Amino acid sequence: MNTHKKLRRSATNRVISGVLGGICDYFGWNSTLVRILYVILAFTPGIDLVAIIGYIVMMFTIPIDNPGVGSPFDQAKSLFTNRASDDKSRKVIHNVEEKDVHDNQKRGH
């Protein structure tokens, strides 16, 4: 039986993509304190760029805990797509005759 824990992005303990939640689950840390520490690091001059780039790299390299959630690309796409347009069904109209608007003008009517 393999009881070895694996580092995964959390599907439940997440704010942006679950990176910090996954790290907290892996090490057994308090997620609120880790998030506060990360925000402090992200605004510390000299460390800020490293913290932000590190988070982005971890977001794309650490697999997600629940495969049904999707990749970060799918998550970002779902933020920007209009969900109402998915609910609309396509309507097909049959027996429609096309008529040129300028036909009447050509005939002199």
pLDDT in tens, the chain (109 residues): 456 788 888 888 888 888 998 898 889 899 899 999 999 999 999 988 999 999 999 988 888 877 665 555 666 665 566 555 555 667 777 787 777 766 566 555 5
Residue 77: its pLDDT value, please? 61
The answer to whether residue 81 sits within a structural domain is no
3-state secondary structure of 16: coil
pLDDT of the residue at 62:
86
Give a yes or no: residue 88 inside a domain. Answer: no
Residue 1 in any domain: the answer is: yes
What pLDDT was estimated at residue 53?
Answer: 92
pLDDT at position 88: 61
Residue 39, pLDDT score: 92
Q: Alpha helix (H) ranges present in 30-100? A: 31-42, 48-61, 72-80, 83-87
Q: Is residue 37 part of a domain?
A: yes
* Other CB atoms within 10 A of residue 35 CB: 15
Q: How far is CA 49 from CA 13, 20, 22, 58, in A?
A: 24, 17, 21, 14
25 is in which domain, residue-wise? Answer: 1-72
Residue 6 lies in a domain: yes
At residue 98, the pLDDT reads 75
- Domain total for the chain? 1
Dihedral class, residue 104 (left if φ above 0, else alpha if ψ from -120 to 50, else beta) = alpha
Asked if residue 109 is part of any domain, the answer here is no
